[in-house]
Structure 1
């Protein structure tokens, strides 16, 4: 049922923004479907804002940002299927909406937003451990503390893998190839090589 609602919302949004021909680029962040439109007006803002499932519409930085909430990724997937499954790219390079700054912001949002909650959760665990260690100094010597400490650092240790997954989806490349390329950065052997190189050894 939810999938149908997401599909219906994607269809209605596509209709209200003038169809695929009016879309130069699109992506999403944690809560917003971000469109770069060739043409937009106030009437379009009001019509999209009135759709069931849309919280708000913001026009900012050359983007038509549709605030949907935590189901935005599902709506985005439906939207992507409706438009051929490939993010449209504006190659003109000379318009305000297609300038390099807007593209960089959109790319960073698409790459980092999907796993920001994971980093927030890891940070929360680290904060809890710090508070507990202040109340109970000896807790740092317990196995429970050490296990949760490792868990809390794991997303940051393997951050290149997270980036490889989201970036490969954004740039439409093979996810396994991207993970393979970035896995070397977190491989124990690579860290050892970096330490040896730092000590002056030729590698």
Structure 2
């Protein structure tokens, strides 16, 4: 009998047997099931299996947290269960059968942005480093106040060089978005890339220069003129254009004979898509994006900004549970484009830190529970580095009171952040390293908010653990 045979047999039995499994796959730490009947799974019994560190349901998938051993466990489980190996795409498609309209929409948005998040995070770190060497004035003795870059040719060269990457990620963002859409829709990815390039081509007037331009160049067709405006860093126009190209290609593949499809499908899909993008979707998407960013920015900077901040700080972690947090990526990017920074993203980083601090409090409270330490310690580290799911599902939601301590601390920290105008240059690592993405003028107040996000959830979790709420949670989990 192998190491994973017994827990695999237990999981198969408690999940409802092979007949209840529609699709199963795994990610870095979790088994992902699409079940025919979710109610047939005995969640409490599954969580009592020694190898299992927690369960949750998200995006139509029942997920079982195993940890770093998940790949080996998965191989043993599928062998015992007699279920075939399924790809993550298969799992996503099957899971959508269990989703409502809003969940499907959020899932689509997540599938667009998830592949490009690594680039956005890298871009945020690069802009943060440029902040440090090119934006902070320091006393250089007889030369007075200068930045590090002003005082060092090497750092000046590095500052200029790093913008090459920052520009590629953020100004040329539409290219990544249209590629991600073609990838998600299963259409020709290189056409998505070409479409994105036509939105940011150097021959177009840069989107950042439109407001101050004396005149706007145009294509003259005799009977009509089309403004030659670029959509650098614009999100909505790229999303709309990407879907038009994808659906055009899908439709054309159905009506054009396969023998000539390689020639005519790309031709009749790309040219109309580019034309529609510049004539219709670009201007409309620009207006929609500007409206959304203006509403969010006005709400955050108004007299009631503190209330908006408190609600958002309180609600962000619950949004992660529902998957709705993926929608904030588009808003953040639009704010960056329209206002040269985002007030929203710092609150996300603070929320992640707050949930991690609640886990740290649980590590302290349960310091004698070696089994739980195996889940809580990695979860806290992960949370502080911007990935909250292990902390939320493995610890905080299981006990509940640390979860509420976390969102309370997050709300207070968010009020401080918004109240003092803390702004990030870009999306970055959504945890403690997120300080690198904050604009230089706001780093000190972000650090103050970050201390609040660390201290308040920790203290509140320890206090709640001693109340009836905490005692009931321990008793419910059989910890005391």
Once the two structures are TM-superposed, the CA of residue 28 in structure 1 deviates from its matched residue by 9.7
Equivalence map 1:180-191=2 (5 Å):
180-191=194-205
- Structure-1 residue corresponding to 2:57: 59
CA distance in 2, matches of 1:123, 1:17: 45
- Closer/same/farther in 2, CA of residues 137 and 17 from structure 1, 3 Å limit: farther
Once the two structures are TM-superposed, the CA of residue 67 in structure 1 deviates from its matched residue by 5.4
- Closer/same/farther in 2, CA of residues 200 and 149 from structure 1, 3 Å limit: closer
Once the two structures are TM-superposed, the CA of residue 55 in structure 1 deviates from its matched residue by 5.9
Once the two structures are TM-superposed, the CA of residue 184 in structure 1 deviates from its matched residue by 0.8
What do you get for the CA RMSD once the two structures are aligned?
4.7
Q: Does 1:155 align with 2:169?
A: yes
Q: Give the one of 164, 169, 172 matched to 2:178.
A: 164
Equivalence map 1:63-74=2 (5 Å):
63-65=61-63
Once the two structures are TM-superposed, the CA of residue 36 in structure 1 deviates from its matched residue by 5.5
Q: Does 1:199 align with 2:198?
A: no
- Structure-1 residue corresponding to 2:133: 132
Once the two structures are TM-superposed, the CA of residue 103 in structure 1 deviates from its matched residue by 0.6
- Closer/same/farther in 2, CA of residues 146 and 120 from structure 1, 3 Å limit: same
- Closer/same/farther in 2, CA of residues 82 and 178 from structure 1, 3 Å limit: closer
1:19-71 deviations in Å (ceiling 9; x for gaps)? 799659x999998776664421342686599697x86432146443455789x
Tell me which moved more, 125-134 or 29-38: 29-38
- Closer/same/farther in 2, CA of residues 110 and 157 from structure 1, 3 Å limit: same
CA distance in 2, matches of 1:165, 1:197: 33
Once the two structures are TM-superposed, the CA of residue 161 in structure 1 deviates from its matched residue by 2.2
Indicate conservation of the 8 Å contact 1:58/1:66, yes or no.
yes
**Larger-gyration structure (1/2):** 2
**TM-score for both structures, normalised by structure 2:** 0.29
- Structure-1 residue corresponding to 2:123: 122
Q: Give the one of 57, 75, 79 matched to 2:86.
A: 79
Once the two structures are TM-superposed, the CA of residue 132 in structure 1 deviates from its matched residue by 1.9
1:76-118 deviations in Å (ceiling 9; x for gaps)? xx632895x9934857xxxxx3311111111122221222122
CA distance in 1, matches of 2:112, 2:27: 8
Aligned residue-pair number: 179
Unaligned runs of 5+ in 2: 1-7, 75-84, 139-145, 219-224, 227-480
- Structure-2 residue corresponding to 1:43: 42
CA distance in 1, matches of 2:66, 2:215: 48
Unaligned runs of 5+ in 1: 1-8, 92-96
**SS of alignment partner, residue 188 of structure 1:** coil
**TM-score for both structures, normalised by structure 1:** 0.60
- Closer/same/farther in 2, CA of residues 22 and 128 from structure 1, 3 Å limit: same
- Closer/same/farther in 2, CA of residues 29 and 178 from structure 1, 3 Å limit: farther
Equivalence map 1:23-34=2 (5 Å):
23=22
- Structure-1 residue corresponding to 2:102: 101
- Closer/same/farther in 2, CA of residues 151 and 19 from structure 1, 3 Å limit: farther
